[in-house]
Homo-oligomer: A and B are copies of this chain.
Amino acid sequence: MIRQTALDDLTTLLGQRATRSKSELDQHGRSETHFPLMPPEMVVYPETTAEVSAILRLCAAHGIPVVGYGAGTSLEGQAQSPHGGVCVDFRLMNRVLQINAADMDVVVQPGLTREALNEALRATGLFFPVDPGANASLGGMASTRASGTTAVRYGTMRDNVLGLEVVLADGRIIRTGTRARKTAAGYDLTALFVGAEGTLGLITEMTLRLHGQPEATAAAICGFADMTDAVAAVIDTIQLGLPMARIEFIDAASVAAVNAWSGTDIPLQPHLMVEFHGSDAGVREQVETFGEIVADHGGTGFDWATRPEDRRALWAMRHNAYYAIKASRPGAMAIVTDICVPISRLADAVKQTQADIDASGIAGPILGHVGDGNFHAILLYDQAEPAQEETAKALSHRMVTRALEMGGTATGEHGIGLGKLDYMQAEHGQAWDVMQTLKMALDPANIMNPGKMLRQDT
C-alpha cells in the first residue's frame, strides 16, 4: 500500500512522464541478450536533475528499487528490474549543455547517445572516441565502464569521463571532478561512479574529454591463414609501439555471418581490421610498418581504405557483426562472452576457446578488441533445446574461469549486471567485500539497482 502511495506520488510529480503501461514496462524489462523479462513497476522520464533527486527521495523513503535506463543496449541485464520498482529512463535528458572547444571537453546529459554527441561535435574538429558499437547512451556507457574498438588508442569511459553530477540514493546531488585535466584533490569519486552500474547513484550530468579529429585516417582489413598468425601480428604491433586507433579480430565464422548480412565476399578466414590516426606522414609510416608486420605473419588481401565512405562501410560491417551473427541462426538466443586477458595470454585464450567451441557442437563466432586482450564469443543456442543452453553456459563458464586463471577479468567492457555476478567472488576475493561495504555506506537500504554486481543478501 505504501508502495502504491509512493508510485501515485511519482505520478503527481511527473504527470504523463510517469507510466505504468504494460507495453512500456515490458519494453524496459527486456535485454538485448538471454535474460528473461524483468519489468519495473513504473517507468519515469525525468527532465531535470531536481526531478531525479525528487524521485530518489521518494523511492528511498519507501524502499523502492530504482534502475537507471539509457538506450537499453547493455548486454548483462544491467537495465532490467529483477526486483520491480521504478525504472528511470533518461531519454528526455539528452542535451549537449556546453561544448568547450578550447578545453577539448563537453558537458552532456546522460541520455544523449554517442552518435548524437558526435553529430553535435561535427563542426568543432573534435570527437568523442569511445565506441562500443551500439549507439548507447553516454550515461549508460559511463555506468558500465564501456569501451569498444577505439579503447586501444583513446581509452575506455574510465579515461574519458572528467567529472560527473550524481544523485545519490538519498536524493543528495553531488559533483565529482573538475574541468581541469587532472586533479589530486581527494578520492577519485568520478572513477567510483564510472562502472558502478547505477548501484551507488544515478548520473545526471557528465563532463567528457574530447579528442581532435585526426588529420589523416587509414583503415584496412587483412586475412590470415590461422588465428594464431593474426594474434601474433597484433602482439608485434603492440610491442613495436605502433599507435593503432583500432585493431579488431574476427574469426572465419564471424566473417561468414558478416558476408551473409552485409553482402560482402570476404574470404572465410580469420581477419584483422585496423585503423590508424595521425598526420598524413605519420599514418603513411604506420601503414607501411603494419604492412611489414602483416607480411611477416603471412597476411593477405591487405588493402587500405582512406576514403571516409569506405572506412564507414568497414566499421559498419564490424559494428553489425553481433546482429549479423544473431541473424545467422534465426530465432537463436545469444550469450555474449567478454573476457579480457593479458596480451601475452591472448593467443592461448583464443585458441583454447575456439577448441572448446568446436568440440561443443554449438556455434560461437569469436571477435574482439584484441589490442586490449579483450574478445567475445557469441554463443548461439536454440531456446527450445535445454541441452544447447547448458552447453552455451558451460562454454561461457569455461571462458571466464580461463580468463581469471590467466590473470584477466570476467568482463572487459560489458560489465557485471546479472550475467557475471557469479564471478565477482572468484575475481575479487575480499575486495568484493570492500565493494559491499562501500555500497552499504552509500545506499544502506539497497534501493539502487538491487541484485546487480553485489551480493544478493546485501
Choose one: B102, B415, B434; the contact of A442 (CB below 8 Å): B434
B residues near A102, Cβ cutoff 8 Å: 235, 239, 342-344
Q: Verify if A92 is at the interface (C-beta below 8 Å from B).
A: no
How many Å lie between the Cα of A411 and that of B186 in the bound state? Answer: 9
- Determine the distance from Cα of A282 to Cα of B176 in the docked complex, in whole angstroms: 37
Q: How far apart sit A168 and B104, CA to CA, in the bound complex (Å)?
A: 38
Q: Are A342 and B179 in contact (CB-based, < 8 A)?
A: yes
Pick the residue among B173, B373, B416 that contacts A184 (CB under 8 A). B416
* Residue of A174, A182, A344 with most chain B CB atoms under a 10 A cut-off: A182
Fill in one digit per residue for A162-206: 1 if any B CB lies within 8 Å of its CB, else 0: 000000100011111011111111111101101110001000000
A188 and B431 contact, CB distance less than 8 A = no
In the complex, A230 Cα to B122 Cα: how many Å?
A: 30
Binding stretch for chain B, among A294-302, A303-311, A388-396, A402-410: A402-410
Contact B413 A184 (CB under 8 A): yes
Whole-angstrom CA separation of A413 from B184 in the bound complex? 5
Q: B-contacting residues of A (Cβ < 8 Å)?
A: 100, 102-105, 144-147, 151, 155-156, 158-159, 168, 172-176, 178-189, 191-192, 194-196, 200, 211-212, 214-215, 235, 238-241, 278-279, 281-282, 285, 338, 340-344, 372-374, 403, 407-416, 420, 423-424, 427-435, 437-438, 440-442, 453
Complexed CA–CA distance, A435 and B239 (Å) = 39
Which residues of the other chain, B, contact A412 by a CB distance below 8 angstroms?
180, 182-184
What are the 4 tightest A-B residue pairs by CB atom distance, in nearest-first order?
Answer: A191-B191, A441-B441, A212-B241, A183-B409
User: Which of A104, A172, A179, A416 has its CB near the most chain B CB atoms (within 10 A)?
Assistant: A179
A187-B183 contact, Cβ under 8 Å, with A342-B103, A441-B437:
no
In angstroms, how far is the closest chain B Cβ from the Cβ of A26? 27
Which residue on B lies nearest to A215, using beta carbons? B241
Instruction: Compute how far the CA of A200 lies from the CA of B187 in the bound complex, rounded to whole angstroms.
Output: 10
Closest to A441 in B: B441
**Docked CA distance A234–B289 (Å):** 31
Q: Is the CB of A435 within 8 A of B186?
A: yes
What separation, in Å, do the CA atoms of A182 and B282 have in the docked complex?
27
The answer to whether B434 and A168 have CB atoms under 8 Å apart is yes
Cβ-defined contact, A182 with B156, below 8 A: yes
Shortest Cβ distance from A442 into B: residue: B437
18 A-B pairs (CB sep. < 8 Å): A146-B184, A147-B184, A156-B182, A173-B430, A180-B342, A180-B408, A181-B340, A182-B340, A183-B411, A184-B414, A184-B415, A185-B428, A186-B424, A186-B428, A188-B191, A188-B192, A437-B442, A438-B442
For A440, list chain B residues within 8 Å (CB): 441
A187 touches B438 (CB 8 A): yes
Q: What is the CA–CA distance of A453 and B187 in the complex, to the nearest angstrom? A: 9
Q: Which residues of B contact A432 (CB under 8 A)?
A: 186
- Distance of A433 from chain B, by nearest CB (Å): 8
Beyond A212-B239, A238-B104, is A411–B192 a contact (Cβ under 8 Å)? no
Establish whether residues A179 and B235, one from each chain, have CB atoms under 8 Å apart when the complex forms.
no
Residues from chain B with a CB closer than 8 A to the CB of A441 are 437-438, 440-441
